[in-house]
Structure 1
């Protein structure tokens, strides 16, 4: 559980380094597919930055994170009742119009990724939209006490092939927006079909 320890011990630093990142360009492809009254789950909400943005846009937002410290910070920031929960425990059925998993599923063990995707699929309503992002690459690695599952286009396709019910809408690569970073990210937008 080293990854959670990292976030619990470095919550303030994490907030400082990620909260002010400009995310509008990433939100747009996701919200383009949502109605005004959509219910969004921010899966692995971290600081609550994206939950707050979606709330301000008028969406109904629920949020979960596994780090106790980040849950507290996200609650304080958003006024949303953020739940302390792992994506491994997601068990809602046909509830959300959109699930936003920005830089969160990259902490999912690769061997459990298909199971978590199935949980996400079940939690989405028909025609629901999933956005997720991974650090671009193909390895499973550890950095600064955190475990990462990187993803490239072929691995994303392999994952999609394991699941019946998702149709890919868009896939694109972005560069990290934080001033001290040059990492690339793989962004995926998938839709749950009937």
Structure 2
């Protein structure tokens, strides 16, 4: 089940941080803290890999709220979409571990924002993800160009080109075949 209570807590905390003046610049790193609870653990007694990706959603939510993007999403009737991701798992997260999720904007091109996220348990890095994300127009479903989003956020001149490993991943992902109806043979 999706962690709606944690999502609500993340939204309230992000708004509260903004009201206290603890906003983030678009180039800053968001950090949220939580405890790995029993609902996060799988039959191997560690945090489920799918749950890690879901909890990364919360990190991106905090980042959006604290950078002002969340407010602009509501004003402009925009949404967020994940168009691709890659993740590495290195250390286990066990029940009741203290977890920190760090989120920051790594790069962007004309269409996509590349978000880097890490999960730390008890002060040690456990997983690392790179996500290709976009801002969408809710009415049309089309991706809004990053230049328009950055202009709306007051960062129209900011450039964050893809570094070598982000570019290599993005280029490799373009080569990946996506299944078609013709591929489905029964």
Q: TM-score, normalised by structure 2?
A: 0.28
Q: TM-score, normalised by structure 1?
A: 0.27
Greater Rg over alpha carbons, structure: 2
